[in-house]
């Protein structure tokens, strides 16, 4: 579990499509450097979110770490768009002994969206994203003033246009200096994880309606979630 509060920006130092080393397991691997700040308490098998994608550490030293990336993860995320030298958002798994900012993030990316507009206003920046046609059903989980996780960053949705399959966020100056979003351009893909609580709530409602249990049961189930 993560919070969506990016701890550090790392640097992609190696991409291997077939890593035959023991830590590579004959699969697709990423090595992230410039990461000493988040590796002081690292162990093999730990979870680290890279651009909001929960991945398992298979090898590390004082300044870098390696993760394996499954084919399904490459299909669902923008990790396959990375190249050596790319900056990435990093966050360790949530520490239960610290204050819980952001929102509950699983690190299970739902899909990617495309940046369709970047517009400054004062010292903040508006970013507008468009959902793919085949993913338009996911727009029902995105509401104004709701949570959304973009490339691992917990943000607040400002505007939603269901017909155009778009939504917008505004990023303050402080956040701009700590995440990779301002480095992106129109047309780039961004990882999206919608609010997991919205998924559970909607599933409860749909199940109650489907099972014909009535409005009282529906309300009780939603409240219990």
Q: Which residues have a catalytic role annotated?
A: 2, 47, 54, 56, 70, 108, 156
Within 10 angstroms of residue 71's Cβ, the number of other Cβ atoms is 10
Residue where the block lists tokens 């990882």: 191
**DSSP track, 166-209:** EEEEEE-HHHHTTSSGGG--TT-EEEEEE-HHHHHHHHHHHHHH
Residue where the block lists tokens 């730990």: 46
* CA distance from start to end of the chain: 18
Count Cα neighbours of 188 within 13 Å in the Cβ-side half-sphere. Answer: 17
d(CA 61, CA 41): 11
Q: Six-digit token pair at 169?
A: 């966020």
Distances (CA, A) of 184 to 10, 86, 87, 90, 115: 15, 11, 10, 16, 8
């Amino acid at each position: 579990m993560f919070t969506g509060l990016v701890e550090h920006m790392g640097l992609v130092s190696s991409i291997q499509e077939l890593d035959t080393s023991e830590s590579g397991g004959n699969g697709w691997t990423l090595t992230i450097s410039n990461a000493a700040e988040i590796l002081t308490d690292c162990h093999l098998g730990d979870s680290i979110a890279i651009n909001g994608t929960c991945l398992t550490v298979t090898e590390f030293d004082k300044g870098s770490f390696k993760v394996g990336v499954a084919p399904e993860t490459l299909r669902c995320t923008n990790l396959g768009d990375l190249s050596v030298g790319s900056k990435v958002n990093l966050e360790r798994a949530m520490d239960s002994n610290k204050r819980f900012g952001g929102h509950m993030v699983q690190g299970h990316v739902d899909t990617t969206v495309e940046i369709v507009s970047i517009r400054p206003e004062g010292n903040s920046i508006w970013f507008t994203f468009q959902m793919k046609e085949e993913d338009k059903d996911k727009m029902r989980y995105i509401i104004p003033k709701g949570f959304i996780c973009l490339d691992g960053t917990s943000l607040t949705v400002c505007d939603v246009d269901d017909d155009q399959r778009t939504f917008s966020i505004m990023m303050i100056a402080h956040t701009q200096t700590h995440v990779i979003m301002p480095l992106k351009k129109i047309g780039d893909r961004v990882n999206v994880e919608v609010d997991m609580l919205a998924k559970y709530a909607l599933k409860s409602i749909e199940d109650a309606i489907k099972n014909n249990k009535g409005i009282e049961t529906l309300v009780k189930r939603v409240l219990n979630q």
